[in-house]
Structure 1
Amino acid sequence: MKYTFISVPALGNKQNTFLNIKAKLTEYAETNAFPIPEFKIGTLDALVLLSDDLVKYDTVFEQSVNKVADIVRNFTSGTNGARDQMLLVNEKSIDQYIRGFQWNTMKYRTDKSLQETMGTLNQEVNAIDAIMKAKLNTYTQNKNALQTLQRKQTGNLSVKNLNGIVKKQHCVLNSEYLTTLIVAVPKALYKQWNGKYETLTSMIVPRSSIKVAEDDEFGLFTVTLFQRVVDEFTHKAREERFIVRDFKYDEDALEQQQDELNQVSSVEIEQQAELVRLARINFGELFASWVHLKALRVFVESVLRYGLPPDFTSVTIAAQPKFEKKVDETLLAQYGRLGGIHGLASKSSSNQQQNDEILDHDLQSVNDSSYRPYVQFDLHFDVERA
């Protein structure tokens, strides 16, 4: 989805200017009004500084929108198109919202300065970013805990949870001196294990090793020894590539393990649902903030480009596929005469300082490869991003 916001001098008649643009582009694009209220302008110096700040905020807002959209896409099933239908702004599709955009005067009062309005937008986006980051971190931590538990149930015998595999009869229990270790032995080292385990340390019970289980990579063996040599045996076994598992037989452990897995899995499902719910709500808030920022950019740049008092028409253009170049050529043919400094020659000499400031801003803009003689900003939302 790509939308282009442009503004051109209205010459005292905004409606006729809009209809003229719409007629010129009717074969190539959908054109809609992009109404922007008049704001308290302040000094042109402040306006130039705000213009620079708005460029930075635009990038930040775009990143925030895409991060939250990715959460919705990554955690919901279906095709990209079906998932993007869940991305609504004020209960409207993105396309409907942009084409029918109205400035939210309840949230962003026009009697406030442009700097205050930009500050309010930025605070809202930062607050949502913080909320979504905290929710995503919490979800990720629980997801990692769930994956760790699942790996213990599905991994090989060197890492897999042994509850339910090692039985009571495999272990020496309630002995003051003896204990049973469970050792994962690579299949290629069975002969080495059987020949060496009794001599790795002293105090090993002879012929105490029994193979309990086997998978594609490891065999699980018991060995009974005195408790006082457990640490030494574990160290020597590691040198031989035998893995002494950290295991203590517990009759209730298997049930506890399953209960823990079920609980963590249930929390993960709930947190994911909550994360997606918040992402969908906050996507709409972020996207609306982003479009309002675009409106601010159009207003500020129009004043800097065309001068005071504000007299311009702003529109939204959604080009048909493969007609973007034709739209650009049509607009340049119609408004190329502006040259970015429309109307300066007609200003009185008393406004010369303001004219110089506007001209200086325009000359800086010309160095931008995307420069047009009229105000133009694009909004590109990548529906295939996820």
Structure 2
Amino acid sequence: MFWILSAPPNPTRQDTIAKLRDKIASPRSQDLAEIYPFNLPDFKVGTLDTLVVLSDDLAKTDVAFEAITVKIGDNLRALLNNNIDQWRSNLSVNESKCKQSIDQYLKGFQWNTMKYRTDKSLRELTDLVSQEVNSIETLMKNKMQSYSTIKTSLAGMQRKQTGNLSVRSLNDVVKKEYFVLDSEYLVTVLVAVPKSLEKEWLNRYETVTQMIVPRSSQRVTEDDEYALFTVTLFQRILDEFTQKARSEKFIVRDFKWNEQQMALEKKALAEAGAAEKDQWSFIYKTTLLRLCKTNFGEVFSCWIHIKILRVYVESVLRYGLPPDFQPIVVKLKPKQDEKKLRDAINLHYAKLGGAANNVAVGVADDALEENLQLLLGDKDYCPAVLFGINAFWIDQNK
């Protein structure tokens, strides 16, 4: 778990860093966390009114970008067949031609001045990052839809080759002698009958409609779900028979004996299946997987830049002008308790909160903590500016 924290100088920025390290990242504080201070450029602040509006917009954008990041990460994991180790190794950010893991990127965060120039206003920077993410999201949606379509098509091809008798190709199942051929009036059709309804079929097929040739049904073959029967009837009532048979759960297959057509279909099915697999392989290996890897890093970086803007705006609103505060990345150490760390941060910065002003200077830490719990209540409240980075979906199954 990571957080981005900002606090005012106490009395200098270096003192702020040193005091926080002493409280949460030293042996005397049980080494709850690691801290990584960083610097931000001088942004064009604008008016307080614009910052208030931007603060609300950034909060919404933060949530939306997190969801998009998680979605792309989930897509990548699915493409890697849920291989967690391989998935984690591909969760990276590539900025300034330097590939970094998520952990490395957050610990060494630097504002990307090449992409997000600081001569732009905070609103312009927010819009610029948002346009980038929206473009990536649209691209990924289209590519994933293409992936889904091809996957469905491939499944359909496989059903024709390996599915049950109600859907699979029948070219390699039936024989010429099953059919009445070259008749002007009669036609033989194939019917897939659920195995539980075989007796009902044999008892009723002659009366499904009129004009069915008596005792014309032959059992051709079966699989685990269906038995395949022939039946001969007059061509003029084929549509009526098909509809009424369907209502009885008897599936009339669209099949006519035509040796040339059957040979062509068999060849086309084999070729289409191979082509489908080749196309799937191409999209999977050279396009979709690569896009997921690249765009995860791009969107994650955008999300963190939005969160940094949010920290900056909230810090100005809370600590005032001119902007003077120290941003710090905080990482919870393995096997440490998140609540304990948050409580330590809240206690350390208690005097920044309005509620703490009612507590006499020099009061003991335990009394101060009790006042905070009673007066502040909200477990997510922090007197300093503090925003979490919910990377649970990255850390899971470790």
TM-score (normalised: structure 1): 0.86
1:10 Cα deviation from its structure 2 partner: 1.6
- Residue range with higher mean Cα deviation, 65-74 or 138-147: 138-147
Question: What secondary structure does 2:187 align onto?
Answer: strand
Does residue 119 of structure 2 align to residue 111 of structure 1?
A: yes
Q: Which amino acid aligns with 1:7?
A: S
Task: Work out the CA distance in 2 between the residues paired with 1:334 and 1:121.
Answer: 34
1:248 Cα deviation from its structure 2 partner: 2.3
- Residue range with higher mean Cα deviation, 161-170 or 64-73: 161-170
Residues 77 and 83 in structure 2, CA contact (< 8 A), matched pair in contact too: no
Provide the residue aligned with 2:328 in structure 1.
Answer: 315
1:169-188 deviation digits (Å, cap 9, x = unpaired): 32334443332100122334
Task: Work out the CA distance in 1 between the residues paired with 2:284 and 2:112.
Answer: 31
Does residue 58 of structure 2 align to residue 54 of structure 1?
A: yes
- Residue range with higher mean Cα deviation, 253-262 or 93-102: 253-262
Provide the residue aligned with 2:276 in structure 1.
Answer: 264
Question: What secondary structure does 2:16 align onto?
Answer: helix
1:81 Cα deviation from its structure 2 partner: 3.6
Task: Work out the CA distance in 2 between the residues paired with 1:291 and 1:260.
Answer: 45
Residues 65 and 299 in structure 2, CA contact (< 8 A), matched pair in contact too: yes
- Residue range with higher mean Cα deviation, 277-286 or 28-37: 28-37
Task: Work out the CA distance in 2 between the residues paired with 1:260 and 1:140.
Answer: 17
For residue 300 of structure 1, the aligned residue among 313, 327, 335 is: 313
Task: Work out the CA distance in 1 between the residues paired with 2:355 and 2:249.
Answer: 78
Provide the residue aligned with 1:75 in structure 2.
Answer: 79
For residue 251 of structure 1, the aligned residue among 262, 269, 286 is: 262
1:10-38 deviation digits (Å, cap 9, x = unpaired): 25632332233223322221110132212
Question: What secondary structure does 2:262 align onto?
Answer: coil
Q: What are the equivalent positions in structure 2 for 1:113-128 lying under 5 Å apart?
A: 113-128=121-136
Q: Which amino acid aligns with 1:256?
A: A
**Which ranges of 4 or more aligned residues in structure 1 deviate by more than 6 Å?**
none
Q: Could you tell me the percent identity over the aligned residues?
A: 48
Q: Which amino acid aligns with 2:134?
A: N
Does residue 199 of structure 2 align to residue 185 of structure 1?
A: no
Does residue 358 of structure 2 align to residue 375 of structure 1?
A: no
Residues 305 and 340 in structure 1, CA contact (< 8 A), matched pair in contact too: no
For residue 144 of structure 2, the aligned residue among 128, 136, 146 is: 136
Q: Which amino acid aligns with 1:164?
A: D
Residues 38 and 328 in structure 2, CA contact (< 8 A), matched pair in contact too: yes
1:278-321 deviation digits (Å, cap 9, x = unpaired): 01100101111111111111111111111111111110010113
Task: Work out the CA distance in 2 between the residues paired with 1:216 and 1:42.
Answer: 72
Q: Which amino acid aligns with 2:32?
A: Y
Question: What secondary structure does 1:223 align onto?
Answer: strand
Question: What secondary structure does 1:251 align onto?
Answer: helix
- Residue range with higher mean Cα deviation, 235-244 or 261-270: 235-244
Question: What secondary structure does 2:75 align onto?
Answer: helix
Provide the residue aligned with 1:291 in structure 2.
Answer: 304
Residues 77 and 83 in structure 1, CA contact (< 8 A), matched pair in contact too: no
Task: Work out the CA distance in 2 between the residues paired with 1:187 and 1:11.
Answer: 81
Provide the residue aligned with 2:360 in structure 1.
Answer: none
RMSD between aligned alpha carbons?
A: 2.5
**Count of aligned residue pairs for this structure pair:** 363
Q: What are the equivalent positions in structure 2 for 1:1-386 lying under 5 Å apart?
A: 2-11=1-10, 13-26=12-25, 27-77=31-81, 79-90=83-94, 91-249=99-257, 250-252=261-263, 253-273=265-285, 274-320=287-333, 321-339=335-353, 370-381=380-391, 382-383=393-394
TM-score (normalised: structure 2): 0.84
Task: Work out the CA distance in 1 between the residues paired with 2:198 and 2:20.
Answer: 82
Question: What secondary structure does 2:252 align onto?
Answer: strand
1:323 Cα deviation from its structure 2 partner: 3.5
Question: What secondary structure does 1:383 align onto?
Answer: helix
1:111-147 deviation digits (Å, cap 9, x = unpaired): 1100000010111111111000111111111211222
Task: Work out the CA distance in 1 between the residues paired with 2:67 and 2:79.
Answer: 19
Structure 2 unaligned spans of 5+: 26-30, 358-375
1:333-377 deviation digits (Å, cap 9, x = unpaired): 33211126999xxxxxxxxxxxxxxxxxxxxxx796522111111
Structure 1 unaligned spans of 5+: 344-365
Residues 302 and 312 in structure 1, CA contact (< 8 A), matched pair in contact too: yes
Residues 208 and 241 in structure 2, CA contact (< 8 A), matched pair in contact too: yes
Task: Work out the CA distance in 1 between the residues paired with 2:81 and 2:248.
Answer: 48
Task: Work out the CA distance in 1 between the residues paired with 2:343 and 2:245.
Answer: 77
Question: What secondary structure does 1:315 align onto?
Answer: strand
Change (3 A) 1:319 1:232: closer
Q: Which amino acid aligns with 2:276?
A: V
Change (3 A) 1:171 1:38: same
Residues 146 and 261 in structure 1, CA contact (< 8 A), matched pair in contact too: yes
